[in-house]
Structure 1
Amino acid sequence: MGILSGLFHSRDKPTNSTNGSGYRFFLGQSTSGKPVNERSAMQMTAVYACVRILSEAIAGLPVHLYQYREGGSKEKALKHPLYRILHDEPNPEMTSFVFRETAMSHLLLWGNSYSQIIRNGKGEVVALYPLMPNRMTVDRDDMGHLYYQYQVQDSDTPTMKDGTVILKPSDVLHIPGLGFDGLVGYSPIAMAKNAIGMAIACEEYGAKFFANGATPGGILEHPGTVKDPARVRDSWNAAFGGSGNANKVAVLEEGMKYTPISISPEQAQFLETRKFQIDEIARIFRVPPHMVGDLEKSSFSNIEQQSLEFVKYTLEPWIVRWEQAINRALLSEKEKESYFVKFNVDGLLRGDYESRMNGYATARQNGWMSANDIRELENLDRIPAELGGDLYLINGNMTKLQDAGIFAGKEETENEEVLELDESDSNGDGTGAADSHAERHHRRGKLV
């Protein structure tokens, strides 16, 4: 008991993760001097592109509730009330696509996705409403049990009132990202704030560079004494500052001379720095560079392979998080024995038309796909069963190794029986010879 009480006490108020927003101490000022948080990071085109790509990919995948049948097969549980909630409409205000897109964007920016589970009197799930992660706190009570504390605002779900609401774990669909305790995930934006802050600084520098007419700094030299230098500087900026005044011809009076002191963006490797930061952000989210517009190292031959790797190594871990979290939170203990949720990624793995047809032909000829199985994958109408749409066929010239030569063995056995019959007739008085002769021919005909 001492060990268990110590365990619960140590995890009751951890310093950085179980407390839902504890990771936020990582956010704030970056080493580049630019403040970084989830919303400012989304103003970076690379971050916005990565979040949008992953959110739309998860939201666009078909999601189904399946039920096991006898023999190990499965079928869609179309009559289960949870099927429509996941596949079509989680709540009266959102489609399934919008709900999953919103939840996935929370997961990518804050490292956690929270949704309130609404149940009826039977305990069945009737609706799911997304909750803002930055207003959710996950903690433990004195008994070591988890609870969720949410700060409600007017714009939130209509099932809650203003103030602080305490939710039980059974009332929250929580999908955590990568974390240190397995309960609450860390924000990728917080962990990569320096890389994102540098990208923001580079973008701001480029904007100011062109705002200053591509000549961001210089010195106006006067051979004498300038009585009002501020007026001269303001007059110069008014005439030649801004991108609209770029390349204007300056007229200098009284022996004044202009000396630029800035260096070109190429000399400062400005463009290379910006490009590297885009690759850095794509690396954070594990998104192939060609998907965020960087085609420098992409070609016709390797983009298809990169797209397959995107599904396997980027999307699949997120999909598993979603599936297991939904199975854990939305299915009862009894339902978990026969129901499960599955995302269908076949659409993302589809090859070109010729490759698909060759694959279908192999599957059809080897008997592990029927015509209707193939037509369903191609979104075609089923062939009626009486016309053979559900038949599983194989090539007739294939047989098991241990059955090789079995027909030859049968033929030899039957030939021996015919010879024995001939010998028995020759030893008799000849009666019934015509019948035995006809029977022998009949047997030989069957052998042929």
Structure 2
Amino acid sequence: MGIKSLFGFGQARDKPVDKAADAGYSFLFGRTTSGKPVNERTAMQTTAVYACVRILAEAVASLPLHVYEYQDDGGKKLVHDHPLYYLLHDEPNPEMTSFVFRETLMSHLLIWGNAYAQIIRDGAGRVLGLYPLLPDKMDVQRDDKGNIYYVYSRNSDENPMFKEYGNIRLKAEDVLHIPGLGFDGLIGYSPIAMAKNAVGMTLACEEYGASFFANGANPGGVLEHPGVLKDPSKVRESWNSVYRGVSNAHKIAVLEEGMKYQQIGIPPEEAQFLETRKFQVNEIARLYRIPPHMVGDLDKSSFSNIEQQSLEFVKYTLDPWVIRWEQSLQRSLLLPGEKGKYFIKLNVDGLLRGDYQSRMNGYAVGRQNGWFSANDIREMENMNPIPDEEGGNLYLINGAMTKLADAGAFAKTDTGQQDAPAQENSGKRGKR
């Protein structure tokens, strides 16, 4: 049995069949070795998963998203009048802002491993709107010619652009699909499904802690009776109704008929409960490659390394997601004739900004060495530009610098030759 058939990942792309792949990874959800069922919704009930998903979803949603045009001189130009600019930067549809739309799709990507949106086009193929589609209702298939198409199972009113219920077939050009990590390049697989045992253990730890405190934050005990009880369950229920629970903690117990209460010591697994919970938080942070200090674990963080960890978060965690978004948006939204002329970019420069002193030192180096103008710096600091006639766009360089090849050119000039004897005599006088 091959690895594809073992995991149900579908057929290879070079062998078109009626069905390419689907949301079959959902079978990976379910009961775990800890005994706790894990799915996309129960996973979000853990604070670690919720925090990681929220951090990444809000980070991607808050980045400036622009459409640029390539220039003949190799530069780029921000294009405000392109139809996609307003949709991506402001409102992809009348019901959502750009932030909410991107946050929603990114949360789908982090939980299900895929993000889908319906593309509404006009007769010329230009994009008029984008509406999110739920990944657990989407099925990706391939027709007898090998072409990809999508089947959406609609049983609720989450999308106002659909008029009918049931299975709705969508052409590939009508779906924005951002896949996560997968094995066939078509379908991403859910991080939660792949790490369901780690998530299940986190859920079990939380339930264990809740049960522990529901019992008054005390371990169990034994009631000893000198005689024979006809109905032990009645005694146990009577005891629990009076003394069990946080609200009944520290009440004075009254024992009759010579009964004694013997408390059972806290077992080692209970004593290590908090350490276990802390480890599970790090497990979830590792799953999403989030620095622990960003989910509240400051044990190994300090003033000197938090800034470096934050920069590494942008470089190693956020950048791959940003590239997935950019390339998927360009592939699906730009018309064939526009792909060599325009590109879409999420700007992460704002997240890489250092503190005020570091930024000013960097600007000073760039200004003195000629690759920053005053207006370049003011733009990065969100300041209005200086008019061109006042020198706002001048590029300056230190006048004392010269090319290495010209370093000895001064000695060959007429002035240099006239001054040479005087310098020689001066040297002789200095030796006397």
**What TM-score, normalized by structure 1, do the two folds share?**
0.88
Which residue identity does 2:17 align to in structure 1? D
- 5 Å-filtered alignment, 1:413-428, equals none
On the 8 A contact 2:150/2:169 being kept in 1, the answer is: yes
- 5 Å-filtered alignment, 1:119-130, equals 119-130=121-132
> Displacement of 1:27 after TM fit?
0.7
SS at match of 1:348: helix
On the 8 A contact 1:117/1:128 being kept in 2, the answer is: yes
CA distance in 1, matches of 2:377, 2:68: 20
CA distance in 2, matches of 1:212, 1:322: 48
Query: 1:390-440 CA deviation, whole Å, 9 max, x = no partner?
Result: 000000001111222434433359979xxxxxxxxxxxxxxxxxxxxxxxx
SS at match of 2:187: coil
> Displacement of 1:122 after TM fit?
1.6
CA distance in 2, matches of 1:108, 1:398: 52
Of 363, 368, 376, which residue of structure 1 is paired with 2:366? 363
Of 67, 70, 80, which residue of structure 2 is paired with 1:68? 70
Change (3 A) 1:66 1:148: same
On the 8 A contact 1:137/1:148 being kept in 2, the answer is: yes
Cross-structure match for 2:332: 329
CA distance in 2, matches of 1:219, 1:347: 61
Of 392, 395, 399, which residue of structure 2 is paired with 1:392? 395
CA distance in 1, matches of 2:416, 2:109: 73
- 5 Å-filtered alignment, 1:203-352, equals 203-261=206-264, 263=266, 268-352=271-355
Aligned length, in residue pairs? 408
CA distance in 2, matches of 1:81, 1:414: 67
CA distance in 2, matches of 1:7, 1:27: 24
**What TM-score, normalized by structure 2, do the two folds share?**
0.91
> Displacement of 1:11 after TM fit?
5.1
1:12 paired with 2:11, answer no
SS at match of 2:339: helix
Unmatched runs of 5 consecutive residues or more in structure 2: 1-10, 420-432
On the 8 A contact 2:12/2:184 being kept in 1, the answer is: no
CA distance in 2, matches of 1:10, 1:388: 62
Question: Over the residues paired in the alignment, what is the CA RMSD in angstroms?
Answer: 1.8
CA distance in 1, matches of 2:390, 2:270: 73
> Displacement of 1:359 after TM fit?
0.3
SS at match of 2:304: helix
Query: 1:93-121 CA deviation, whole Å, 9 max, x = no partner?
Result: 11110000000000000000000111111
Cross-structure match for 1:36: 38
Query: 1:40-75 CA deviation, whole Å, 9 max, x = no partner?
Result: 000000000000000000000001110011210101
CA distance in 2, matches of 1:369, 1:7: 50
> Displacement of 1:13 after TM fit?
6.0
Of 199, 224, 237, which residue of structure 2 is paired with 1:196? 199
> Displacement of 1:217 after TM fit?
2.1
SS at match of 1:347: helix
Cross-structure match for 2:60: 58
Change (3 A) 1:332 1:414: farther
On the 8 A contact 1:82/1:125 being kept in 2, the answer is: yes
CA distance in 2, matches of 1:180, 1:98: 29
Say which one has the larger Rg: 1
Unmatched runs of 5 consecutive residues or more in structure 1: 1-5, 417-448
> Displacement of 1:262 after TM fit?
5.3
SS at match of 1:335: coil
SS at match of 2:96: coil
Q: Which moved more, 1:247-256 or 1:379-388?
A: 247-256
Change (3 A) 1:77 1:98: same
SS at match of 1:150: strand
Cross-structure match for 1:437: none
SS at match of 1:12: coil
Identical aligned pairs, as a percentage?
Answer: 66
On the 8 A contact 1:215/1:260 being kept in 2, the answer is: no
Q: Which moved more, 1:328-337 or 1:368-377?
A: 328-337
> Displacement of 1:260 after TM fit?
2.4
SS at match of 2:351: coil
CA distance in 1, matches of 2:108, 2:187: 13
Query: 1:309-357 CA deviation, whole Å, 9 max, x = no partner?
Result: 0000000000000000011111122111110011111110111101000
Cross-structure match for 2:382: 379
CA distance in 1, matches of 2:51, 2:313: 15
1:45 paired with 2:47, answer yes
Query: 1:276-331 CA deviation, whole Å, 9 max, x = no partner?
Result: 11100000000000000000010000100100000000000000000000111111
On the 8 A contact 2:411/2:417 being kept in 1, the answer is: no
Query: 1:3-49 CA deviation, whole Å, 9 max, x = no partner?
Result: xxx966845367xxx42211111110000000000000000000000
> Displacement of 1:169 after TM fit?
0.9
